[in-house]
Structures are given as structure tokens and as C-alpha cells.
Amino acid sequence: MEQVREKAYAKVNLGLDVTGRREDGYHLVSMVMQTVGICDDIVVYKTKDPNISLDIDYGGVHLANPLSAGDDNLCAKAARVINERLGIQHGYFIHLTKRIPVAAGMAGGSSDAAAVLRAINRLENAGLSTEELQELGVSLGADVPYCILGGTMHAGGIGEVLSPMKPFDQVPILVAKPPEGVSTAEVYHALDALEEIQHPDIQAIRKAVEDRDVEGLANCMGNVLMDVTLPKHPIVGTIRDKMLAGGAVGSMMTGSGPTVFGLYKTDEDCRKAAEMIRAAGICETVIATRTIADITR
């Protein structure tokens, strides 16, 4: 086999709490992670030379700040990490079709890294287990271990302690990202400076998700990082309010933002809300999709 394709899916956080800080500065989190039907495509080709090169296709969309396609791209980093682990000398050409909004709280970079690890494991017939790929992944980013498997999971520790949950599959979800990007590191830094933090009830969120109780989930959903991002990016609140006014059962920011998602009873409700948000002209990306349980489909 000389080339392998993988899909790299985006996630949203149905719940996000920060519970402390490790001595090395990493934040301890308690998050309910959910894959959604937005993905990047990755094709990895073996090359004879030892270089790892990358080509990024934005599907004709013009990005104000395109990603670096150099050694610092998480795809290239992931390829280097797994090659080192496997003692492989040759390189790769990676073609990335980027659709997941960047710096948006949707783990796009982490998911690309996870997809490259899965791809090279297959391409080289290396036989690394899921756990081994996750161990490699955590050195690239705290969300990478989750992105190796995706689906519905609770993530503890710094994000790498994973507990699978009952799949919260095929729920209509609207994802809307305003033009600005947000730096995850800056948001965590600003969170440390807050005097008071409103912690969401992650156990209640887990229960509502596992009971597939969308209305119950809407009542208890919470993201502690919203207290930081919302005052700096009031558009987050505007989008959430529009989603709620347009029929969302619940709406919240994902990750460090600024992307906002809404949960809907039907695909039709979700599509109508997408049209309404698009017509408001305040978002760069508006995608009506569904939650996904299995990233291998």
C-alpha cells in the first residue's frame, strides 16, 4: 500500500469544566466530548526521500490567515512522532483538505494529527493499538487521544483520561463560527485570572447525554471557558441568542470558542436556523449537521 485516506472529524464539548492545574501548568479538565459531521480529509502518500511535506486545500475558500504547511503543522508533527516510534526512515507527502474551522474550539488540528497517526499506522502495517496511538498523540496535544477514537466520551486528566459513553448519535446540530479566531492558550490563561468560576454539573450533563435527553441536556449544559470568551467576543452571545430564538433546544460555545453550536429536534429545524444565521451575515462558517458516534463510517 502506498497511500491511505482518513477522515478527521471535528468535536464539540457538550460540557467543559476546568477542575485544577497540574504542577507543570497543564489544566485539569472534565469534558463531555462529541464528534460532529464536519471533517477534514487526509491522504498520506509514502515518499522515498525522508522529508515530510504537506499541501493544504481549502476548497476554494479564502482564509485571512492560512495555516502553515511547514514542520509546525500538526499533520507533519504527527508523522514525525510516529515515524520516530516505528524507526521509519522514509518520508510522506500529506494532502490535507481543510474544512474544520481553524482556532474555533473544534479540535481541528488535534483531529488532523490523530488522523495522520491512524493513517501511517495502516500505511506501514505497524499494528499499533488504539492505546499506543493515544500515548503517541498526547505528546502532540491533549485532545489528540480523544480524536483517535472520537464519538461520545468523557475526558478527564488534561483531556487524555477517556471514558467511553453511550453514543449520542444523529442529533441535529448547528455549528456557527464568527470571523474571529480564539487562542486556546490565551483563554486558559485568562481563566486563571478569574476570581470566581461557575462550574457546570458534568455528572448531570453525562446523565442527560446518556439518557439521550436533549431538553435535560439543554438545561444543564455548561462551558466554564465561556466566562472568558464571551466578554471579549460578545458575538458569541449574539449567535447563541439567535439560535435559541430560532428554535434550538439548547445552545452553547464549544471549547475555548468562539464557535457556537445549537441542538435541534429535527433536521428541518436545524436547516431553517442555519438559513437564519447565514442571513444575519455575522458568521464566517455555518454548518447544519448531526452528531456522529462512529468515525470509521
15 binds ligand ATP (CB under 6 A): no
Check residue 87 and give left, alpha or beta (phi > 0: left; psi -120 to 50: alpha): left
The nearest distance, CB 138 to ligand ATP, in angstroms, is 13
Beta-strand ranges (E) seen in the chain are: 3-21, 27-47, 52-57, 91-97, 152-156, 161-164, 172-177, 222-223, 250-253, 260-263, 285-290
The verdict on 104 binding ligand ATP (CB under 6 A) reads yes
Query: Binding to ligand ATP by residue 133, rule CB under 6 A?
Result: no
DSSP single-letter state for residue 44: E
With binding defined as CB under 6 A, does residue 137 bind ligand ATP? no
How far is it, in rounded angstroms, from Cα 291 to Cα 255?
16
DSSP three-state, residue 84 = helix
Residues acting as catalytic residues: 11, 143
Could you say which residues in the range 28-87 bind ligand ATP, by CB under 6 A?
A: 67, 73-75
| Number of residues near ligand ATP (by CB under 6 A) | 18
Judged by CB under 6 A, the residue of 4, 44, 79, 107 near ligand ATP is 107
At closest approach, how far in Å is the CB of 116 from ligand ATP?
9
162 touches ligand ATP (CB under 6 A): no
CB of 56 to ligand ATP, least distance (A): 8
**Contact stretch for ligand ATP (CB under 6 A) within 83-91, 102-110, 200-208, 223-231:** 102-110
CA atoms of 38 and 264, how far apart (whole Å): 17
| Helix, strand, or coil (residue 80) | helix
Secondary structure letter of residue 101 according to DSSP: P
Q: Closest by alpha carbon to 285, among 295, 277, 297, 293? A: 277
Q: Which of 30, 121, 152, 184 binds ligand ATP (CB under 6 A)?
A: 184
For ligand ATP, the binding residues (CB under 6 A) are 67, 73-75, 102-110, 112, 143, 184, 255-256
